[in-house]
Chain A
Amino acid sequence: MKRRDNDIFLLWLLPMALVLLCFVILPLLVTVVDSLYSVSLLNVSDRSFAGADNYLTVLKDANVRTAAGNTLFYTVVSLTAETVLGIAAAVALKEKYRGRSVILAVLSIPWALPPMVNSMTWKLIFDPSVGILNEILLQWGVIDAYQVWLNNPELSKWCVTTVHVWKMLPFIVIIMLARLQTMPREIMEAAETDGASAVQKFRYFTFPYLRPVLFITLAQGTIGAVHLFDEPYAMTGTALDTRTLLIQDYLTAFREYNLGTGMALALLISVSILLLMVLYAKLAGRQEEW
């Protein structure tokens, strides 16, 4: 009886395993192999072995280096903003109050919308002549003339980061909130009776309790930032000051018609992310879930 039961289980695992195999494992292996070949989009069957050439080309390409620098900027700034603002918001929202569920619903909206539409919306806000940002800042006296935002190389990355963080923050806040809500009340009350200040409460109680989820928020935030494509592409196209690694990969494959190099770049990106995950796991001292 038991053996037959577990056979059913194998059957149930089958769809998942098939999808995994056909759409992830096999293509990944093909990517690894093809990255060692010189393959052109214009004539896919005409390939020649190139060894590590594609990788060297990628590493030497100035555009790739620029894109990598941009991506690093996005990652660092996004993670910082998401962590700081996320913790702040989660702490503020920790206690249940009337209407909080509505507020949470509203908070989750930016995360739920397509980044392409977010980008379009913010592009309208940032518009140098008819955008609301310029008008508001002018009214408040922050600036004395309309500024160019997205096409100003000093500010463009900050603008893109703002849109990205705008989307990611709700997600981070919800995760942190979930964690905070499982924090036992007695600990905080004990701290209060001992006269702990707000800062001390945070430093010695709240933050250490949050540490384990930092792995998750940093991991998700990193994946989101390194995979950044929609926002910069929609707001500034292929301009070099905002170009990300994934945009560069797209251009390598579909404008330079160079598939082999494109795959090499994609693999390098994947490996970087995996290494970062391992780093986070070690830092957060995360225990294996199983």
Chain B
Amino acid sequence: MVENRRWPGIRPARKLHRRTKLAALQAAVSALILLYSLLPLYWLLRTSLISKEDLLKAPPALLPSPATAEHFARILGLDGSSHVISANFVRAFWNSAAVCLGATAAVCAIAVLAGYVFARWRFPGSRALFGLLLVTMVLPAYSVMLPLYRVMTALSLIDTGLGLGLIYVSAFMPLAVWLMRSFFLTVPIELEEAAQMDGAGRWRQLFLVLPLAAPGLISAATITFLSCWSQYAIPLVFASSKAQPVTVFLSTLVGKTSVEYGLMAAGGVLSILPPLLVAVFLNRYLVAGLMKGAGR
């Protein structure tokens, strides 16, 4: 305990008072954060569960009672109604899943290799190359979008999962490389040196060290996956039809007619489930990754 020179006698009570004040502040901030994140999502959920008639009634009901699964049934095609919507929704969901997982895997592979090199080897031009990488993170996708559009057209990759995935890889690779490099830098080089003396090649050394940098890999994977899943403007141009991800599909629901709120909301709820699960269950890695870029 630190000696308090001004009010020596009051020391214990003051510290207790401060601690309770702090606890109260923390509780208040925690409550605020819960409301901040969850209240809007509750409204989405409620809208997806409320019946069509109740939806248009004003004032808006806070609780969906009775709750109905009709919107979910319709968007998943479970109720036998016209498949126009559900066939497209399910396909869009698959597209999102496949492209995001594929792009994430590719980004991780590239980032592990390149990140390791940047962490372990200083070669002429490495600083410039790394700097170049960072600068590209700053460019808006649109500054390369239009020529990319023509390249993709020429290669017949427009409206394909592969084409879209490649664009995602190019967009999210720099951050992943940065992250892997940061994580590899925290691993002491002794392990690899020992292995090298035992005659291990570079591949062996990498795989030796990889488990230690695994949290970094998961961070990079998490951030990349979330970023891919969130994309809208790019697939709007590059994958607007057959390879359409779930975000583009939802926007077609939004534009159609303003009274289909329930359907929109059901689609919204389903399409945020993967990122929600990832963000909550892999949160440690997500936060660690974000902090790595800042916690110097």
A–B: direct contact at CB < 8 Å: yes
Interface residues of A (CB under 8 A from B): 5-6, 8-9, 12-13, 15-17, 19-20, 22-24, 26-28, 30-31, 34, 44, 89, 92-93, 95, 97, 99-101, 103-118, 120-125, 127, 129-132, 135, 138, 146, 166, 170-171, 174-179, 181-182, 189, 192-193, 195, 212-213, 216, 219, 223, 226-227, 229-230, 233-234, 237, 246, 249-250, 253-254, 259, 262-263, 266-267, 269-270, 273-274, 277, 289-290
Main secondary structure of the interface of A (DSSP, over half): helix
CA distance in complex: A28, B47 (Å): 43
With contacts A8-B203, A20-B170, A120-B268 known, is A99 near B144, CB below 8 A? Answer: no
User: What is the CB-to-nearest-CB distance from B48 to chain A, in angstroms, rounded to a whole number?
Assistant: 10
Tally of B interface residues using CB under 8 Å: 103
With contacts A114-B230, A130-B261 known, is A103 near B30, CB below 8 A? Answer: yes
Q: A146-B58, A226-B140 are in contact. List 13 more A-B contacts (CB 8 A).
A: A8-B201, A105-B280, A112-B275, A112-B278, A112-B286, A115-B232, A117-B250, A124-B264, A166-B36, A233-B233, A250-B236, A273-B140, A290-B127
CA distance in complex: A20, B174 (Å): 9
Contact B169 A234 (CB under 8 A): no
Q: List the A residue with the shortest CB-CB distance to B182.
A: A289
Q: List the A residue with the shortest CB-CB distance to B148.
A: A27
Q: Which one of B121, B150, B250 contacts A120 once the chains associate, using CB atoms below 8 Å? A: B250
Contact A178 B291 (CB under 8 A): yes
For the complex, is B82 an interface residue (Cβ under 8 Å from A)?
no
A/B interface sample: 11 pairs, CB < 8 A: A93-B29, A105-B279, A106-B280, A113-B230, A114-B232, A114-B272, A115-B232, A121-B40, A130-B57, A138-B59, A179-B295
Q: Which residue of B60, B148, B265 has the most chain A CB atoms within 10 A of its CB atom?
A: B60
For the complex, is B44 an interface residue (Cβ under 8 Å from A)?
yes
Contact A27 B44 (CB under 8 A): no
Top-8 shortest CB links A-B: A178-B291, A23-B170, A112-B279, A30-B147, A12-B113, A178-B295, A27-B144, A105-B283
